């Protein structure tokens, strides 16, 4: 993948003697898969600067013990790191007074405005093209995730409202990121996801802002083909004909839903990585959640976290070692002998990790 070409201007790797990596396992299986990612990074040896790991706290479970989901110490420590890996959060589905998702807060505090989620299938033959090869580029700081909600009583019962924020600035930033990624890929195709036929003001602004980017950068994106898709039909076509998509750019909520749905096309959420990226910091994060039903059972799939580590390293400029990680994972999946239960196997988290390490 050509992510390095997009980020090399901001992430200089030439002079690093060490690599300071913040580890935030947070909740549930995050505490099992982030150590696996750490082991995979360590196995790269001299291919990367000597890694220095900083263990940090965050999460709903921490909130239940301390009343704080994201300590200031964690945020300040991350600012001193070169990059980070985040596990998963067990955010409750009902309102809990005083609690707010730490991953949402981290994205805002560190200005990680882009959530980049590649979804790529593993072809049976390494020389074949994957049947699914797309990237969801999700705006990471606004939309309904600004979490400005209220509830009040009316004569007809309780009424709940949420503010949806779409700004030209955020739409332009994520749009430029998407265009750069599309420009660096072989197909050079970008699909703008929206629902402006209904939400003509908010989604309309997102659509118009992204579409205007080539005009503001004459000649730079002439070879990028631009398409649009309403979010509901995009999900439908994603399952029917995923090969039509290359890079998809979407507001926060749509991007979240689309990327999770796309994971079904490659077999499991346990395979899909992501990074939260800004202009000067990157944080890898597996797409899956905290999976409380399997937490602590040593059967969580570590591959998404290992791929997230590879994606993080690639954005830092370490393309060759990132490729080593991805190729090792591909070999394990292709052989099909050591797979966790989400992929139909019986392997433990440790066994799956060991299989990847052997390939390295």
Active-site residue among 20, 82, 195, 246?
Answer: 195
Q: Which of 111, 260, 279, 354 is catalytic?
A: 260
Q: Which of 50, 222, 232, 297 is catalytic?
A: 232
145 is catalytic: yes
Choose the catalytic residue: 82, 113, 145, 245.
Answer: 145
The CA-to-CA distance between both ends of the chain, in Å, stands at 19
Tokens of 160: 């709940």
Q: In the annotation, is 195 catalytic?
A: yes
203 catalytic? Reply is: no
Angle formed at CA 272 by CA 7 and CA 55, multiple of 5 degrees: 70
| Residues belonging to the active site | 145, 195, 232, 256, 260
């Amino acid at each position: 993948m050509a992510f390095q070409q997009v980020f090399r201007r901001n992430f200089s790797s030439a002079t690093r003697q060490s690599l300071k990596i913040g580890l935030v396992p947070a909740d549930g299986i995050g505490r099992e898969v982030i150590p696996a990612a750490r082991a995979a990074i360590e196995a790269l040896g001299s291919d990367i600067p000597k890694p220095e790991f900083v263990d940090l706290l965050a999460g709903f479970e921490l909130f239940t013990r301390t009343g704080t989901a994201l300590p200031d110490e964690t945020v300040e420590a991350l600012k001193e790191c070169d990059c980070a890996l985040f596990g998963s959060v067990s955010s409750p589905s009902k309102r809990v007074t005083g609690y707010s998702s730490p991953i949402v807060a981290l994205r805002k505090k560190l200005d990680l405005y882009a959530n980049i989620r590649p979804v790529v299938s593993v072809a049976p033959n390494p020389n074949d093209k994957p049947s699914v090869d797309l990237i969801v580029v999700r705006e990471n700081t606004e939309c309904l995730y600004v979490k400005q909600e209220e509830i009040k009583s009316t004569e007809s019962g309780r009424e709940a409202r949420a503010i949806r924020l779409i700004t030209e600035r955020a739409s332009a930033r994520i749009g430029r990121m998407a265009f750069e990624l599309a420009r660096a890929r072989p197909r050079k195709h970008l699909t703008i996801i929206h629902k402006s036929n209904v939400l003509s003001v908010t989604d309309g602004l997102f659509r118009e802002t992204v579409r205007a980017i080539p005009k503001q950068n004459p000649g730079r994106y002439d070879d990028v083909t631009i398409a649009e898709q309403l979010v509901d039909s995009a999900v439908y076509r994603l399952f029917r004909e995923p090969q039509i998509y290359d890079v998809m750019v979407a507001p926060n909520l749509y991007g979240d839903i689309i990327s999770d749905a796309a994971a079904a096309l490659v077999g499991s959420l346990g395979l899909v990585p992501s990074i939260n990226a800004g202009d000067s910091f990157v944080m890898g994060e597996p797409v899956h959640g905290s999976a409380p039903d399997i937490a602590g059972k040593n059967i969580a799939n570590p591959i998404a976290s290992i791929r997230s580590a590879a994606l993080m390293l690639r954005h830092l400029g370490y393309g060759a070692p990132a490729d080593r990680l991805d190729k090792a994972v591909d070999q394990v999946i292709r052989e099909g002998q050591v797979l966790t239960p989400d992929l139909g196997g019986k392997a433990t988290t440790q066994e799956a990790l060991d299989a990847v390490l052997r390939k390295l």
